[in-house]
């Protein structure tokens, strides 16, 4: 059974076009470089594997505490309106997410929605409990951290 993630929003003092460009700048991730400038499995990062117009195949590495998670996702860009992410490989059985960009005055609100599903083959039904009471909270915290980081970067870059 799927578990809905909590809707989360962040307001950014920057135009929607600049915020969308920042969050969708996946072309700079061709080599999978982390902060050090070289691919490093111990750093959070992203790697563009394949691009066909606005449809991308991406590898993401995200840290939660001491644990590093690797996912392979299909990303679809709908310029300046939204970005969708569909989980293909990684620790979850299913994940579908969407970031929606709304122009509000001279700024932008980013809203995240999504759903997840865990499966435990030896304990049918236990996957929902794990997703709802363990994974959901961690996943939402990770998404909010990324959204706040995006906000800081966009506002620091003077995207307004």
Sorted by where each starts, the structural domains of the chain and their CATH numbers stand as: 3-156 (3.30.530.20)
Helix (H/G/I), strand (E/B), else coil: 140: helix
Whether 9 shows a pLDDT value over 50: the answer reads: yes
Percentage of residues of the chain with pLDDT beyond 70:
89
> pLDDT band at 65, cuts 50/70/90?
confident
pLDDT digits (tens, 9 = 90+) for 13-32: 999 999 999 988 876 655 54
pLDDT digits (tens, 9 = 90+) for 89-132: 999 999 999 999 999 998 999 999 999 999 988 887 899 999 99
pLDDT score, position 120: 87
Helix (H/G/I), strand (E/B), else coil: 118: coil
| Residue matched to tokens 């299913």 | 94
Tokens of 147: 């959204």
pLDDT digits (tens, 9 = 90+) for 39-60: 566 788 899 999 999 999 999 9
Distance CA 74, CA 89 (A): 10
Q: Which helix (H) or strand (E) holds 20?
A: helix 16-23
pTM over the 0.75 mark: yes
Distance CA 116, CA 126 (A): 14
Q: How many CB atoms lie within 10 A of CB 10?
A: 20
* 7 in Cβ contact with 111 (< 8 Å): yes
Give the number of C-alpha atoms closer than 13 A to the C-alpha of residue 45, restricted to the C-beta side. Answer: 20
């Amino acid at each position: 059974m799927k578990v809905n993630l909590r809707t989360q929003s962040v307001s950014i003092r920057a135009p929607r076009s600049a915020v969308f460009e920042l969050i969708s700048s996946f072309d700079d991730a061709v080599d999978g470089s982390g902060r050090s400038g070289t691919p490093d499995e111990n750093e959070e990062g992203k790697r563009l594997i394949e691009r066909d117009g606005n449809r991308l195949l991406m590898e993401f590495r995200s840290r939660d505490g001491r644990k590093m998670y690797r996912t392979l996702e299909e990303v679809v860009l709908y310029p300046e309106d939204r970005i969708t992410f569909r989980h293909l490989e990684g620790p979850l059985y299913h994940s579908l997410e969407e970031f929606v960009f709304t122009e509000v005055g001279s700024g932008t609100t980013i809203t995240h929605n999504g759903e997840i599903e865990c499966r435990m083959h030896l304990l049918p039904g236990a996957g929902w409990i794990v997703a709802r009471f363990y994974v959901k909270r961690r996943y939402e915290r990770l998404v909010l951290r990324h959204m706040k980081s995006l906000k800081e970067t966009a506002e620091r870059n003077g995207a307004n």
